[in-house]
Every structure is written in C-alpha cells, then in structure tokens.
Structure 1
Amino acid sequence: MSQHSSRVALITGGASGIGRRIAEKLALEEKATVCILDRDGTAAGDVAAGIRRAGGRAESFVVDLSDTEGLEQTLQELTDRCGGPDIVINSAALAATVPALDYPLPQWQLTMAINVTAPMLIIQHALRHMRVKRWGRVINIASISGVRAGTGRLGYGSSKAALIAMTRQFAIESAEWGVTVNAVAPGPVDTPMVRSMHGGGTADTYGAMIPMARYGSTDEIAHAALFLASEGASYISGHTLAVDGGFLASGLLVRDLFSTASPAH
C-alpha cells in the first residue's frame, strides 16, 4: 500500500505545468486523492478526468485565488466533498516581467493576492485539520527569484521571497503537531508560464547562467515535492530546496574561463 493511499492532497495550479505533474504523481504513484484547484475549469477537469482514467482519484475545483471569499467557499466545498487536506501543494503563481520603476500597483496587488495571501489562507485552512490528525505536509512552490533578485522581477521575486519567509513561520508553529512545511525553489523550468516570460532570445540568456546549461523539467520539480511530502522527510521542516541546475551555487559563472586564459607560468 502506498504511503498516501488514505490521504487527500490539495494542489493549486494543478491544471498545468509543475502543479499538474505533482498532481499526477501523487494520484498515480502515491495513490492519494488529489483535489486540483485552478482558475481554468476546463483544463482542471481534463487533468482530473485523465487521472481517473489512469486509475487514480481526482476532483477539480474552479477558483480565482485572488478572490478571498470565493477561495474560502471552495476550501469548504473541497473539505465537505473529499475531507480535510493532508497534503498541500501551493503551486499556482502569477508572474510578469516589468521594470521596477514602472511596476503598476494593480499588478503588484494581484501578484501578492495570488502568490502570498492565497497560500496563507489555504495553509491556515489545512492546518486546522492537520493539527487534529497530528500529521501533515505543506510544500510551497517558490522560486530562485525569491532568493536572488532578477531583472524585471519586482513583484514576482518579492512575492516568492515572502512565500519562503511564510514557509518558515508556519513551520515553527506547526511542527509540534507532526506537520512539516517546506518550499521548493525551482530554477528555470520548461512550463507554459516560463515560456511566456522567457520568449525570444531570453531563453538562451537564462540557459547560459545555469551550470547544467538547460532548463529543468516538471518531473524534476515534482520529484523534489514528493520527497518533501514523504515519510522519509518527516524531520525536515522550514527549509527551501533549490532545484535549479546549480544556479544559486554558481556565483560568477564563466564557461570559457579556462579555455581562454593564458597558461600559468
């Protein structure tokens, strides 16, 4: 029997990209009941239906994460239908590449609502159930942009830095209940959102900054998230795991330094 066969997993942004891959793996490999929350109801329904056809258990819920009242209603509906969440994956995010000087206030407020406030409300809701069960796993999908500043990332980077800080806050206050709260910080990953942000020649620029010289895959991020959700990670909490091809470790990366430097004498 899989370790999560009796558990309920809530995944935001589960209709595409990283969230979708985590949902599929939790349902089909770990046998959890997955609840996919996404603003694209058609896509979320298609992913849930695909999981069910493959033998897994999945439900879909349409929600605008910036709508606090609507989110709270959806969380109650989810709990009534599937039970209290045992595993939370906060994967949904809003991103835009805008110069810091020109970043519009409405975009800032929307980014914070989706990337920070919604995860907070979801974790609070789940923790009330996890505290009773004395078990729970929360994994926030952050970003390397929450660790290092990046050009055009005022809103996105600040929101992900806040998500990382919030991960630690929840971790220390829920640890005694047998709950772990961690984050995964992906580097550039081949997803629809990243492709829209890294269009044109930008992809080559990002690739040149990554020691592995490639984008990551959704599978690679999902593997990290599933580890943090596992029993094997029961003593890990409050951490942010970078899955980034070595980007955060690289510092000043000069690929041809040794091939162009003069021989030492």
Structure 2
Amino acid sequence: MTRSTAIVTGAARGIGLATTDLFLAEGRRVVMVDRDADELAAVAEARTNVLPVTCDVSDPAAVAAMAEAALTDLGEVHALVNNAGVADFGPIDDCSFDTWRRVMATNLDGVFLCSQALAPALKAAKGAVVNIASISGLRASTLRVAYGTSKAAVIHLTQQQAAEWGEHGVRVNCVCPGPVRTKLAMAVHTQDIIDAYHDAIPLNRYGSEREIAEVIAFLCSDRASYVTGQHIAADGGFESTGVGLPALRK
C-alpha cells in the first residue's frame, strides 16, 4: 500500500519539523499542525506539498476543525504523529494545579483528542500512529513532575490504542526521546548540564532532531508492519543505564 499522507502536530520546529521533512522526502503530502501561526506559516512557505493548519491540540473544537481540514485536503490519513507538547520544569512543591493542567492538556489530552478525531480515517486507511513521549515518562527525574507524568500517561495511552485499534489494522507506537540537541535545549542547558548528560548517556552525546525523526518515519512505514503497542527510547542508551553512576560503568 502506498503511504502517501501524514499529519504532524507540533510541526513548526524541532522534531516535528524534522519529521515533516523526512515524510516529504518519502513523497508524502503532510498536514503541518501547530499553534504558533507565524512560525508555522514561515516554515510551510519554504516547503511544497504541505498544508499548514493552526491548531491548539488541547482545544476539542480546534482539533475537530483541524481533522476536517486535514481530511478534506488529504482524502486519506496514512500516518498521524502526535508530537505537540509543552514543558514546565520546577520543584514538585511549586507545581500549581494550573501548571499541572496546562501541561496535561497539551501533552496528554492533545494526543487523545487528535487520535480520537482521526481514528475513523486511520481505520479506513489501516494507518499508523506515533505518539511522542519522553525518557522522562520512563524514569523519574527532578523538576518535571507534570511533564514526566504526562509522558508516562502517553506511553500507556499508546498501549490502549494499539490494543483496541489493532483489529482495524491501525498500528500505534510511541517514541521516547532522550536529550535532543534542539535550539531550545542548547539555550537553557548550561555547560555543567551538557557535561552531565554526556557522562550519563552511553553514546556520550545528545541526539539530533533528525535521528528522532528517523525512528518516527520507520514506525509509520510498512517496514514496521508488525510493530505495534511499543515504546522505543531513542536516547543514546540513557534509559538502559537506570540510576547507575557513570563512574561505575568504567
């Protein structure tokens, strides 16, 4: 089956944009979804075979409108990448309920809403869904109670979707990126943080947006036709080290 269409949320930058570019290189038409209208318009203008749709994935009405626009443009939906997310880092004692809900609304509710809205089309096309979680959903870390919890929930939601939609031919998997060398990360990570990550990651480096996108594109392809309900840590081996001290691995 020709896999010719895709929808990517959080597509205006970072992993979402890198994934969009890989899909375009595969010959897909891509609906690029993001709530940052200006940035989305700018990156979409530089690309062909895309449709930019401004949408806040935490808003049910906006998601319904996005799904309608996407289906009108694409006709069929062969892949959905739920990548849109927000982060708010700080001590657990300082995490207000408003902060908790804001993170959950995008990171978890957004995945649920987009998947639900596009489920009929995905079933009709026997499509693939890839949800983007995080290494923070697999192992606890300081300063990210809402973020980590939301991503852990995305991992479980992935399994629920895979278990129920498999009979319709829909595959659902989850990618859990480790530290990625994005512009935002490099702007806020001090050299001490960078060095600490390098020490803790067996490959001794951050990943790139393209490396994460390659995993996503594979899971959306027919090469992964018997893979569903899985979470894959694209993290340079970070998750495999558990809580072990880097010095003890020498």
TM-score by length of 2: 0.94
Alpha-carbon distance in structure 1 between the residues aligned to 2:188 and 2:132? 17
The answer to whether 1:154 aligns with 2:151 is no
Alpha-carbon distance in structure 2 between the residues aligned to 1:19 and 1:254? 31
Moved more, 62-71 or 220-229: 62-71
Match of 1:41 in 2: 37
Amino acid of the residue matched to residue 202 of structure 2?
Answer: P
Alpha-carbon distance in structure 2 between the residues aligned to 1:189 and 1:95? 14
Amino acid of the residue matched to residue 154 of structure 2?
Answer: L
Match of 1:261 in 2: none
Alpha-carbon distance in structure 1 between the residues aligned to 2:141 and 2:248? 24
Alpha-carbon distance in structure 1 between the residues aligned to 2:15 and 2:88? 18
Q: Secondary structure at the match of 1:201?
A: helix
Match of 1:226 in 2: 217
Are the equivalent residues in 2 in contact too, given 1:181–1:238 (CA < 8 A)? yes
Q: CA deviation at 1:8?
A: 1.9
Moved more, 81-90 or 11-20: 81-90
Alpha-carbon distance in structure 2 between the residues aligned to 1:22 and 1:139? 11
Deviations 1:100-140 (A, max 9, x none): 1110111110111100111111111222112223x111001
Match of 2:11 in 1: 14
Are the equivalent residues in 1 in contact too, given 2:163–2:229 (CA < 8 A)? yes
| Structural mapping, 1:253-264, within 5 Å | 253-255=245-247, 258=250
Within the candidate set 77, 85, 88, 2:69 is matched to 77
Amino acid of the residue matched to residue 10 of structure 1?
Answer: I
Alpha-carbon distance in structure 1 between the residues aligned to 2:184 and 2:6? 23
Alpha-carbon distance in structure 1 between the residues aligned to 2:190 and 2:130? 28
Note the residue ranges of structure 1 that are not aligned, 5 or more in a row. Answer: 259-265
Amino acid of the residue matched to residue 46 of structure 2?
Answer: G
Deviations 1:129-174 (A, max 9, x none): 12223x1110011101000001111010000000000000000101
Amino acid of the residue matched to residue 47 of structure 1?
Answer: V
Within the candidate set 159, 184, 206, 2:175 is matched to 184
Q: Secondary structure at the match of 1:61?
A: strand
Amino acid of the residue matched to residue 122 of structure 1?
Answer: C
Amino acid of the residue matched to residue 201 of structure 2?
Answer: I
The answer to whether 1:32 aligns with 2:28 is yes
Match of 1:121 in 2: 113
Amino acid of the residue matched to residue 94 of structure 1?
Answer: V
Q: CA deviation at 1:25?
A: 0.6
Match of 1:235 in 2: 226
Within the candidate set 238, 245, 250, 1:247 is matched to 238
Q: CA deviation at 1:210?
A: 0.9
Deviations 1:194-219 (A, max 9, x none): 33553463222222211111100011
Within the candidate set 54, 57, 62, 1:62 is matched to 54
Are the equivalent residues in 2 in contact too, given 1:96–1:197 (CA < 8 A)? no
Q: CA deviation at 1:256?
A: 7.0
Are the equivalent residues in 2 in contact too, given 1:45–1:59 (CA < 8 A)? no
Q: CA deviation at 1:97?
A: 1.1
Note the residue ranges of structure 2 that are not aligned, 5 or more in a row. Answer: none
Amino acid of the residue matched to residue 169 of structure 1?
Answer: Q
Count of paired positions: 249
Q: Secondary structure at the match of 2:57?
A: coil
- Note closer, same or farther for the CA distance 1:27–1:257 as it changes in structure 2 (3 Å cut): closer
Alpha-carbon distance in structure 1 between the residues aligned to 2:249 and 2:62? 54
RMSD of aligned C-alpha atoms? 1.7
- Note closer, same or farther for the CA distance 1:234–1:77 as it changes in structure 2 (3 Å cut): same
